[in-house]
Amino acid sequence: HWLADTARLARRCDEVLAAFLRGQLLVMLCLGVIYAVGLTVIGLNFGLLIGVVSGLVSIVPFLGFIVGLGVALVVAFFQFESWWGLVGVLAVFSVGQVAESVVLQPKLLGDKIGLHPVAVIFAVLAGGSLFGLTGVLLALPAAAVIMVLLREVIERYKKSELYAGVERPMDGPALPHRLDHDTDREIP
């Protein structure tokens, strides 16, 4: 009885989760490129390697940023003789973080899984607030599955008699009608 509906919903959830995974991989790739190019442009030793590793580790939100920034600052501290090298590293990672928060996450992930950019940000913040790091990791896949289920509920509601406004007789005894005393007619 429920097999067809369950299989259809499972397929939809699978499609959304696959789109999420592809989007997350694209975000990681873009961050790796931003960090690697930026660190190489400022002349940091091992900039390419640090950027690529930061992009790969960014599968965990903020971990790629923290690890990459920490390693890059240590390398810059020992490589550059002035503070401008440290400022350059901070600028590269700031640009990467802003790009991830404003463009990459909402556009590459939100569009792929059918969530509004504000919903993406809200889901990540709510997941982190409620469940910490685990919540941040699972927030977008969970939000995507919830959206599939909500769309199904809305679709079923729109096909229901309740939405169409079909009146059905109520079970039980009929209620007596009131009389309009001016016209002596029944009021339903």
Distance between CA atoms of residues 100 and 61, nearest Å: 10
158-185: b (≥16 Cβ within 10 Å) or e: eeeeeeeeeeeeeeeeeeeeeeeeeeee
Domain layout of the chain by residue ranges: 6-163
pLDDT digits (tens, 9 = 90+) for 143-172: 888 988 998 999 988 888 887 776 666 665
pLDDT for residue 72 is more than 80: yes
The pTM for the full model equals: 0.70
Query: pLDDT > 90: what percent of the chain?
Result: 39
Query: pLDDT > 70: what percent of the chain?
Result: 87
> Can you list the alpha helix ranges (DSSP code H) found in the chain?
3-41, 47-57, 63-79, 84-99, 111-113, 117-158, 161-164
pLDDT digits (tens, 9 = 90+) for 107-138: 877 677 777 777 877 888 899 899 988 888 88
Q: What are the phi and psi torsion angles at 16 (to 5°)?
A: -70, -40
Distance between CA atoms of residues 33 and 54, nearest Å: 10
